Structure 1
Amino acid sequence: MTDADLIPVFDGHNDTLLKLYMAKETDKEKLFVEGAPANWHIDLPRARKGGFAGGMFAIFPPPDPKSQRSSVPSAPGSDEPSAPELARADALDSTLAMASILLRLERAGALAICRSAADIRAAMAKGVIAAVFHIEGVEAIDPDLAMLDVLHAAGLRSLGPVWSRPNAFAYGVPFRFPSSPDIGPGLTDAGKALVKACNRLKIQIDLSHMNEKGFRDVAKLSDAPLVATHSNVHSICPHSRNLTEWQLGAIRDSRGLVGLNYATGFLRQDGTMNADTGLDVMVRHVDALLEALGEDGVGLGSDFDGAMIPAAIGDVTGLPRLLDALAARGYGRELIEKIAWKNWLNLLERTIG
């Protein structure tokens, strides 16, 4: 694919704000604008080269570094314990710090924080990265939801109630392979109130790290399309983080969307984090998602800067190689554009407005 016909990509999930937050450099804006370390996945120069038009920029409160469980396990296991809960004070500090980084990136002209689908379209038309303020794991939000109102006023338009650990709202599915997602209880009363508040405020609810009972609870309560921003197909890779047949059916019935996750442990049949993973495996998941959801229900949700991705992609500059692989599979340009960005924009029009 040449620069002349580069298809833009709007992506369902990245963890670049966490990378910036954890970086030792004090000038976070300069690091993003002028070029991040080579082992990062997204910065402004590489985004422009790869056709990255924007996406959900996640704020992920990292685990307590003193805990014994601080990251995604490197090898698959069927008995992986849940990550420990995170204290609200710690989550609040990191959440606000990453929100500040996002706001400063906007002031530096590196991106635009988009509060509606119209904002995203306007940013894309100007060639500015369209960033949707997203939180992955809402430990910073109090059960009375006062902080939700504050964050919404700052631009929050998408959230995943849990990462893969329990909190006051729900139970995140642990990283188990092979495993179903039917692990742990469903939403708490506070979680049910959160779903209703998100519907009222037009905040998208992301189900990617939700366990099965929590997923069912959201499906019963929410009046918005069901969305998994960065998940794959359980029948291909039987990881607890992936979506089973009934979950995909519920998403389809709600006219929702699933974003393909590039993390190799959620792509491969053996569940391993192994960069030597071919684009054909990614295409196989896209095939299955299209069969389950239809042409309007599939997008991309890379997990850039938050996971090991196939070496064939490398970083955001490798996005055209994935789209070329879809073209080689026989997908026409219209369908590729839907998967690359149009489906996300149409979905967001129905969730955040």
Structure 2
Amino acid sequence: MDNVRIFDGHNDAVQFMLDYRPDGRDFLARSEAGHLDLPRALEGGLAGGLFAMYAAPEQEPVDDLTINHEGYEVRYAEALHSDHARRQIDGQLSAIEKLIGRSGDKIRLATSVGEIEAARHAGVFAVVLHMEGADAIGPDLGYLDSLYNAGLRSLGIVWSRPNIFGYGVPFAYPRSPDTGPGLTDLGKNLVRRCNELGIMVDVSHLNERGFWDVAALSTAPLVATHACAHAICPSTRNLNDRQLDAIRDTGGVVGLNLAVNDIRADANLDEDTPLDAVIRQIDYLIARVGPEGVALGSDFDGAVMPREIKDASGLPRLLDAMRQSGFDELTLRKFAYNNWLRVFSLTWPDRS
């Protein structure tokens, strides 16, 4: 297993970087806080990943969680003003640039499959820019072009709140992902422009009608960077069988989300979630989407992880559990690394 390299389809480490916030963590130094930094990434076999930029509200909501005997519901988050969101995204872009600059070529920004592979062969960690929620982008889409020029290669249209492009799913269980209207006309324009530029469109956090709008419009494979199977855990954040089939039929990828509340059938926020529960999700997704369509989308630093994995350094334990469950070496390598690069190659134009 030592030779299996891993590419992760989603993490929220940017939110906690010292280069972004004075009380943050130095990504270059090992920490016991959170899930991801460079030493733990390398210990866990990570070759790189999609790093999510995300705009938070000015004030985090309080008392927005309701729990009853059936499950839970989080009050739907309010839309953000684009200027407020853009200031944060600009700050995060600057922080990533500073981090790469002071890493001494231990970290590189990658904008193509070739650059990811070159970094891997050089033993350098590859950062691919993703944005979770298009709140910072205005209706003229000009900022999207600026982000592309800065290195953005993956975009989630929404987080779990509305914006001018569409509607995210409110966090709830048990509940269907069909929670409201789909993409707006501006959202449809956004998908078309992403296709033109070669930015991967991420359907994570998008409600079901929005998903089908993307499916009808996009010329690229359908991708969910971090999600699980609704058939096992019926939370709004998970994908139902029809959605999984559509991802399969377009040659897309589902990044397995390690968030325990989306893995477990009971959706409990419990670190003592056994690896057997994670394997059950992987089994189901591969059976539905195929071995070429399932990868890792950890949600490190954005969710509660199973205790047996704990953080990025624990990823070899997940691969060991997959092997013990009967997955062959080829399937392991597809899940760990190859499937992401395959879908990137189908989405990002070769401009060399």
> What is the TM-score normalised by the length of structure 1?
0.94
| Equivalent of 1:101 in 92, 95, 100 | 95
Q: Distance in 1 between matches of 2:302 and 2:124?
A: 23
Report Cα offsets for 1:12-48 as digits up to 9, x if no partner: 000000111664348x6xx111233x12111111111
In structure 1, the residue matched to 2:305 is 309
Please state how far the C-alpha of 1:56 moved relative to its aligned partner: 0.5
| Equivalent of 1:24 in 22, 25, 30 | 22
Please state how far the C-alpha of 1:7 moved relative to its aligned partner: 1.3
CA RMSD of aligned residues (A): 1.8
Q: Distance in 2 between matches of 1:249 and 1:336?
A: 21
Higher strand share: 2
In structure 2, the residue matched to 1:7 is 4
In structure 2, the residue matched to 1:115 is 111
Q: What are structure 1's unaligned runs of at least 5 residues?
A: none
Please state how far the C-alpha of 1:83 moved relative to its aligned partner: 0.7
Please state how far the C-alpha of 1:78 moved relative to its aligned partner: 5.0
Amino acid of the structure 2 residue aligned with 1:120: I
Matches within 5 A, 1:203-222: 203-222=199-218
Q: Distance in 2 between matches of 1:95 and 1:180?
A: 31
Report Cα offsets for 1:66-88 as digits up to 9, x if no partner: 54478x88998454331111111
Contact 1:69 1:83 survives alignment (8 Å): no
Q: What's the secondary structure of 2:155's corresponding residue? A: strand
Matches within 5 A, 1:100-249: 100-108=94-102, 109-249=105-245
Please state how far the C-alpha of 1:314 moved relative to its aligned partner: 0.6
Amino acid of the structure 2 residue aligned with 1:152: Y
Please state how far the C-alpha of 1:245 moved relative to its aligned partner: 0.6
Please state how far the C-alpha of 1:223 moved relative to its aligned partner: 0.4
In structure 2, the residue matched to 1:33 is 28
> What is the TM-score normalised by the length of structure 2?
0.94
Contact 1:133 1:155 survives alignment (8 Å): yes
Amino acid of the structure 2 residue aligned with 1:98: Q
| Equivalent of 1:258 in 254, 258, 266 | 254
Q: What are structure 2's unaligned runs of at least 5 residues?
A: none
Matched, 1:298 2:289: no
Please state how far the C-alpha of 1:122 moved relative to its aligned partner: 0.7
Tell me which stretches of 4 or more aligned residues in structure 1 moved more than 2 Å.
Answer: 21-26, 66-70, 72-81
Give the length in aligned residue pairs. 345
Amino acid of the structure 2 residue aligned with 1:189: D
Please state how far the C-alpha of 1:112 moved relative to its aligned partner: 1.1
Q: What's the secondary structure of 2:17's corresponding residue? A: helix
Q: What's the secondary structure of 1:249's corresponding residue? A: helix
Give the 3 Å change call, closer, same or farther, for CA 40–23 of structure 1 in structure 2: farther
Matched, 1:278 2:274: yes
Mean alpha-carbon deviation: is it higher for 255-264 or for 74-83? 74-83
Please state how far the C-alpha of 1:141 moved relative to its aligned partner: 0.6
Q: Distance in 1 between matches of 2:153 and 2:306?
A: 29
Q: Distance in 1 between matches of 2:52 and 2:140?
A: 23
